[in-house]
Amino acid sequence: MYELADLGTIEELFTAEAHRNTVGGRSLRHFFTYYNQRLPTTITVEFVDQTLKKMMGRKYLTSVTKVNNRRTRCIIRKVKESISCQAEDTDDLSFPHEKGNYLQYLYLWALASKRYEIARYLLMMLTDITVAALFGASFLRRKARTLRSPSDIEELQHYSLSLYICHLYCRVFEDIALSIVKQCYGNNVKSTMQLLIMERRTFNQVSCFVMAAEGDCKHFMEHQACQEYLDRIWAHTLILRTASWKSRLPVPLLLSRIGEFRIYFVVLLKIINSLMVCSGLLVNGTVRSNVRLLKTIGRH
């Protein structure tokens, strides 16, 4: 599949599908024409990227990733150490998903043309399943917002069914990502935190956490792992702010804050004494002692 998903095949597939008068063709054509004035004769990957960026607000798909030679050499070395009898054959190991592919665009084609079951099949073949599932949910959710309610009754029924199916598969793809996080969180909490914040090369260095937040994946964000990560961010921010306040507050400003506090404290004591005197709860000695306290605070 990685070898078949090359640039020429993907562009030919998008072009042929967008000019067909089928359910998938109309859906794909709507995706392009909603954000562009006209549909080109040949749909290129650049045109797909531009349309997707207008829809999602940023570039998400990355067609070619850099080869991590260091990681590849490390994997080959470990294989050689574990399987010494096949050491001479490990030099020919290839990692097609490392060298660059357009399988993500094939996944996008299936989503945009309403081939949702094919999209689920392609999802399991991608390198980063979790972030890809969140991308699918985010894409379908945004695509549902572009659908317009027709006036004809039959078209309205078709529109309602299409909208329902679209939202249904939004939840399906989000649940796939959620199930992965649940299983990882049950096995290793630390690894799950890394899974949430790890930047994915095949999705333009976007992490699962960012993808879920930008894609309005509420069910995914409600998981305990995401909430714990948010708590860590919030607590760390408070610590930094407290340390920053203590280290950067100038001495004159600090003295002025102390002076303001003294004034507020004096006023508060006066109000309390006045209320208690009016209520007849204080004797003269107690009032005089409080007055002396007020004078002492005022002198300092």
According to the model, what pLDDT value does residue 169 have? Answer: 94
* Six-digit token string for 265: 């404290």
- The predicted-structure confidence for 270-295, as pLDDT tens digits, reads as follows 666 666 655 554 444 454 555 555 55
According to the model, what pLDDT value does residue 102 have? Answer: 86
Lowest-confidence range among 18-22, 65-69, 145-149, 199-203? 65-69
CA–CA dist 169, 143 (Å, integer)? 12
**CB-based contact 93:76 (threshold 8 Å):** yes
For residue 194, the SS3 value is helix
CA–CA dist 7, 128 (Å, integer)? 20
Higher pLDDT, 39 or 151: 39
pTM of the model: 0.67
Lowest-confidence range among 166-170, 198-202, 256-260, 293-297? 256-260
Lowest-confidence range among 97-111, 196-210, 254-268? 254-268
- The predicted-structure confidence for 7-46, as pLDDT tens digits, reads as follows 888 999 999 999 999 999 999 999 999 999 899 999 999 9
> Domain coordinates of the chain in residue numbers?
7-235, 250-299
Task: Average the pLDDT over 142-169 and give the result.
Answer: 79
CA–CA dist 195, 207 (Å, integer)? 8
CA–CA dist 106, 102 (Å, integer)? 7
